Each structure stands twice: as C-alpha cells, then as structure tokens.
Amino acid sequence: MSSKIIKAEKKFLLIPIANAEYWFMPAEKIQYLGIYHEGVLLEEHEVILSRSPRCWSGLSLAPYQNQELEIRLEHGDESLIDLLEISDSLKDEDTLYQEITRPLVHFTPKHGFMNDPNGLFFYEGKYHLFAQLNPYGFGVANTHWLHAVSTDLMHWVQLPHALIPDESGRMYSGGGVVDWENTSGMQKSDHPPIFLFYTAAGSKSRWSQSRYFEIAVAISTDGGISFHKYEKNPILPHISFMNRDPKVVRHPDGNRWIMVIFLDNNRYQFLYSSNLLDWEPGQIIQIHHSAECPDLFCLPLDGDTNNIKWILWASTDNYIIGHFEGKHFIAETDTICGPSHQSISAYNLSNPSTSAYAAQTFSDAPSGRVIQMSWIRTRVLHGPFTSCISLPHELSLLSTENGPRLSVLPAKEIEHMYEKNFSFVHRGLEEIERVPTKYLSEAMDMTIRFSTKKDKLIAFSVRGVLIVYDPQKQILILPNGAFTLENDHDFLELRIITDRCSVEIYANNGLFNMTLGTVLDPANVSIQPVLLDPAVTVDFELHTLKSSWEKI
C-alpha cells in the first residue's frame, strides 16, 4: 500500500483513469483508492490508474473542505498515487461537452461509465434526473447516483453526486418521489421532503463484503439540492436473492404509497406504506422474460380519464396492464412483450434485448404527462464518458385489435432543438438522394413515408445504418435483428432520430419503437435509397438538431 497526505483546500482530487474494453473492469487490474480522515475510511473506489489516461476525473473534496486527508492506493503499480493532484478545476474543463464523441441531444455524464436512470421526479419547474455512474472508470464499479436538472428535458446541468457508495454497498437503482403531504413527518423547511429509494448493493464492493442487498432511502429537505441517507436504513431488509430497484408511487386516492421491487428471475413484489418509511409486503407477480428495474405508472386508455389503467413495466420493455383493488394488483393482461422482444431473429443471440434498458418515468410530471427515459447501452471507446440516456419519451395507452398497448413517442420538447427544416411531398425515390447537404447533420429528426407494394422490399440507409422493410411478411430488418412490424396501410411511415451514439426508430404511432446503440461515422450523414421500386412515392420531413450543450 502507498499513501499520501493532502489538505482538502481545493475542489477536486484529480484521478487519471485508464481505458477499459469491456462492461466490467478486469479484476487483475483493479486498484483500491481509499480516502481516510483520522484513520476512518470515508470513500473507497475501484480504479485502474494510468500514466496515459483516457481522461482525468475529479473526486469532489467539497464534503471535506480544509480537512487533512490520507489517500491510500492498494494493488498494482502503487507508485501511480503520485499522479493524483488537487485542483480547483477539472483537467478537461475547457473541452467538456465539445468532444467529437459527445451526443448532441442525449444526456451524458461529464466522466465515466453511466447506466440506469434512477429517481426521476419533477419539482418547482425542474426535472431531476439521476443515473447509475462510475465516475472513476469505464466499466461497472463504484456505483454512484449522478444528479442532473433541466427545465425543458433537453438542456441538462450536472450537479454534485446525490449518493456515493459506502459500507452498505454500491448505490444501485431505485426511484424518487416528493412527499407533498409530509406523510413521512420528515419536513424541516418550506420544502416538502423528497425521497430517493435506492438499492444498497452489499457485497458488490470490498468495503461491503458479507452484506446483503437491502432497500434504503436518502431524503432531501432543501428542495432536491442535497440528499442525506436515512439514519435508520435499511427501510427494507433482505428478502430474496438480489431484491432491488425500488419504484415508489402515490396511489391517486391519496391514502397509500406503493412500492414495487425486483426479487429474482422474473419475480416482482408489491409493498405498501402510509409514511414512506414502514412497509408491509404484498403480492408477488411474474413478468415473463424480464428482470430488474420495474416501473409503475397509470394512464387513461385512449385519453379517457374515466378509464385509468395501471402499467407494471420491466426491463427491457415488457409490461402488464391492470388495476388495483385495495392492496392487490389485478392483472388484466398477460405479459405484453415490447418491440425488442418481438424479434424474428437477432444478430447477437447472446444479447437479444437490443433496445434501450431500465426505462423509468418521472413522478409529478406537469399536466399529468407520463415522461420516460432509459439507458442507451452504446459502448463509446473514446472521450471521457461512455453510454447515454435516451431522448425523453411521452407515453400513452391506445386501444388496438390485440388489446390496449403502450405508445412511445419522442416528447414534444425535442422541437426546441430544431435548427434547419426541409421537406417534400409525393416525390420520386430519387429525391431522397437530392436532400441538400446543408440540411444533413449528425443529429437529425426525420419522418419518411413510403408508398408500399406487397411484393416489393423497401431498403434505405440513414447515416450508414441499413433499414429494410418487407411489406408482405411485415418484418422490419435492422442491424440488430428482424422484428415484427404489422402494417395495414398502403404506406410505411418511420420516424428516425439520429445522434452520434444512437438511432431511435418509431412506427405505427409509437406502438413500435426501437433503439440502436451504436457509434455512427461522423463523416456519414447521408440518407440513401438502397432498394426501392421505381414507382414508389415518398413524403419526407427533416429537422436538423442543434446541440443541447450550447448553454454549458
């Protein structure tokens, strides 16, 4: 072990982070970076330091201002501890959000590996987004809760981390709610208490060895600026295997809170509370072909507020529709498989869940809207971050011949990002090749409507991504597989949104949606016909998207 003494009189401890090729950090290379004060461990993180780092991350010293800290490094080349330095600014402060790999309209963290969105809520004009984050590496480890806020769902400002790992484990996924009526009795100011429910993932770190997964809370009494872990955690001790990912909502009748957690395999459990702190167990329900990260929300069927349905959602995009009778969920459907599970074949058989993951909805979104965001699992190999959060989606529940189904479409706020606009109606296919270059960019929102013939394939590419539709078999073929796309019209309409690290596709009024997590060629912004019948007609609408980071 090597150690050094610092005085926390500046903002950051700067850490040189090595690149990583896979989702998980290789065990043989892991080093342990510990922060101590008077012999007491304050933070411990798994790192791989490098003299030629992919980026320099910054560990906030704000909680320890002017204290004398001991920094310890264990395993590997312990002389690398000499690279650590304290500073009032980040190494890449002048280039943050200007990187050529940084998505233009999708949220990304300043540094590190990000995954599941967590704890989404709306309060006093701001959307609060939290997400799983390893700030000190490019694989799963050191799971913090990142915190960012936005007034319009498109422009985000990252705040200090809401939760950091401790002796109870890594800070795994969960949900957030505003306790408007102070049912918890925790209010200490003009602001109602705000709760973050999280999974204390014991045994996922050296510091938490021999601990179970438990459910815990952190509470804000200052309007969501800072959160403090509840002194009586856990509020829910270990139940089964990896019990995790608490999602909490207020029942509309106002007399109880509902929690749903993932247990194991495809089992989920409901729990109920009157005060957010004491929970009684309810029924266990199965969502087939699913795991982790439940969500729970209600929607009016076809906009009819007298016909409200509850949706129990699971990753990737499977769900059950039902209603509550007291403290019992009555399923009205079997598990409804989302589009990513409706594959005819998959390019990668080891990872059939191709779409975005761990989708969560905002609590208390204005006007009763149900706004959802998810994790796009793009492996970005360069720059100070990897992966991104999806566009905000607005959900609705529609009647179909197969029963009620969820519609997932981009939230209207994306229109704030429109910069240049181009369109034509009822033209020949060659017009696609004639879109003026000035209207093409890395980030585009386009809607293309092709007339169809049963025996004629439609094939075209967007930014080098091949998209094929077979009208006779009603199959949409994408780089990640072939998917059922039923279509009773004599035309095919697709909405496609591109960015540097993703392609999001919508059809059938949002009943079909698919996310491709892929790093696109920055030099290829073309839209090209590949195989189209000469008699096909095309309606085309295109909007280039400006960067969300212009205000950063």
pLDDT digits over 457-507, tens only?
999 999 999 999 999 999 999 998 899 998 988 999 999 999 999 999 999
- Mean pLDDT calculated for residue range 5-32: 93
* This prediction's pTM: 0.97
- Mean pLDDT calculated for residue range 448-463: 94
Q: How many CB atoms lie within 10 A of CB 492?
A: 20
- Mean pLDDT calculated for residue range 198-209: 97
Stretch among 18-27, 207-216, 232-241, 415-424 having the lowest mean pLDDT = 18-27
- Mean pLDDT calculated for residue range 427-433: 85
Q: Which CATH superfamily is domain 415-551 in?
A: Exo-inulinase; domain 1 (2.60.120.560)
Residue 424 buriedness (CB in 10 A; 0-12 / 13-18 / 19+): middle
Residue (of 117, 313, 298, 311) closest to 196 by Cα position: 117
Report the pLDDT value the prediction gives residue 384, as an integer from 0 to 100: 98
- Mean pLDDT calculated for residue range 415-435: 92
Segment 247-277, tens digit of pLDDT: 999 998 878 999 999 999 999 999 999 999 9
Report the pLDDT value the prediction gives residue 77, as an integer from 0 to 100: 97
Active site residue 116: yes
Segment 21-59, tens digit of pLDDT: 788 888 899 999 999 999 999 999 999 999 999 999 999
Instruction: Please report the DSSP string for 456-477 in residue order.
Output: --EEEEETTEEEEEETTTTEEE
Token match 């960019």: residue?
A: 441
Name the residue ranges covered by the structural domains of the chain: 2-87, 112-341+355-410, 415-551
Report the pLDDT value the prediction gives residue 349, as an integer from 0 to 100: 44
The active-site residue, picked from 88, 92, 116, 470, is 116
Report the pLDDT value the prediction gives residue 21, as an integer from 0 to 100: 78
For residue 430, what are the CA distances in angstroms to 43, 427, 530, 531?
60, 8, 11, 11
Q: How many CB atoms lie within 10 A of CB 76?
A: 15
Report the pLDDT value the prediction gives residue 24, as an integer from 0 to 100: 87
Q: What percent of the chain has pLDDT over 70?
A: 98
Average pLDDT value for the chain: 95
Q: Report yes or no: 516 and 503 within 8 Å, Cβ to Cβ.
A: yes
Q: Report yes or no: 424 and 436 within 8 Å, Cβ to Cβ.
A: no
Report the pLDDT value the prediction gives residue 353, as an integer from 0 to 100: 42
Structure tokens at 463: 């930014």
From 3.90.180.10, 2.60.40.10, 2.115.10.20, 2.40.50.140, which CATH number describes the 112-341+355-410 domain?
2.115.10.20
Segment 112-129, tens digit of pLDDT: 999 999 999 999 999 999
Does residue 145 surpass a pLDDT of 50?
yes
Does residue 418 surpass a pLDDT of 80?
yes
Give the C-alpha separation, 321 to 332, whole Å: 6
For 412-442, what is the HEC assignment? HHHHHHEEEEEEEEEEEHHHHHHCCHHHCCC
- Give the pLDDT band (50/70/90) at residue 351: very low
Residue (of 438, 462, 467, 411) closest to 544 by Cα position: 438
